[in-house]
Amino acid sequence: MMSVKLAVIYYSATGTIHGMAKRIVAAGEAAGAEVRLRQVEEIAPPQAVASNNTWSQHVEDTKDEPKATADDILWADAVLFGTPTRFGNVTSQLKQFMDGLGPQWGQGQLADKVYAGFTATQTAHGGQESTLLALYNSIYHFGGIIVPPGYTDPLKFADGNPYGVSHVTGADNDAPLTDVEFAALDHLANRVITIAGRLTA
């Protein structure tokens, strides 16, 4: 059987979503998938980036990473989108990338793929669920197959998010990812790959 092709497409301002994306890549490769990690372009004004040292440092640290294109979606059997929360919604950076997929959507090329998402907020009730639900609105229009983790493994009662995977970074964005989030990310990657594998078999 052909290995599943997984695209991990994300936006990260201060590095948390980047760390989550890398964990998904490792889990996907361990599960036998062919994985692409792609960062969407930074579109925030330079003065906004410069106003936050952690943000500007992350932009510098990841400036040479491969950038996401529509071809990465077309190539994939499964796509995992990562975004921080902005007022309970998807970041403008990731949304602009998704909004640019109109030509591929018009040809039905985004349909029948497996999709899911992951996010992070500074506070415990900062819009994690609403961000994932907002992300999935676009995927409904794609004709995509949303594969949430649900409560399909006891570990989900530890991380507590049936819509995807999420993390609370704290007010200073310095709370590290823990074994709870790592287990949830591994589970999400494996679940998405398993379902995509059944669909492509």
Q: How many CB atoms lie within 10 A of CB 38?
A: 20
Mean pLDDT of 31-58: 94
pLDDT in tens, 105-120: 999 999 999 999 999 9
pLDDT at 76 over 60: yes
Q: Kindly indicate the confidence band of residue 2, based on its pLDDT and cuts at 50, 70 and 90.
A: confident
What CATH number was assigned to the domain covering residues 5-200? 3.40.50.360
On average, the pLDDT of the chain sits at 96
Tokens for 81? Answer: 């989108």
* Cα 153 to Cα 193: distance, rounded to the nearest angstrom: 16
Mean pLDDT of 176-190: 97
Listed by start position, the domains of the chain span 5-200
* Cα 199 to Cα 169: distance, rounded to the nearest angstrom: 35
pTM of the model: 0.96
Mean pLDDT of 176-181: 96
Mean pLDDT of 181-199: 97
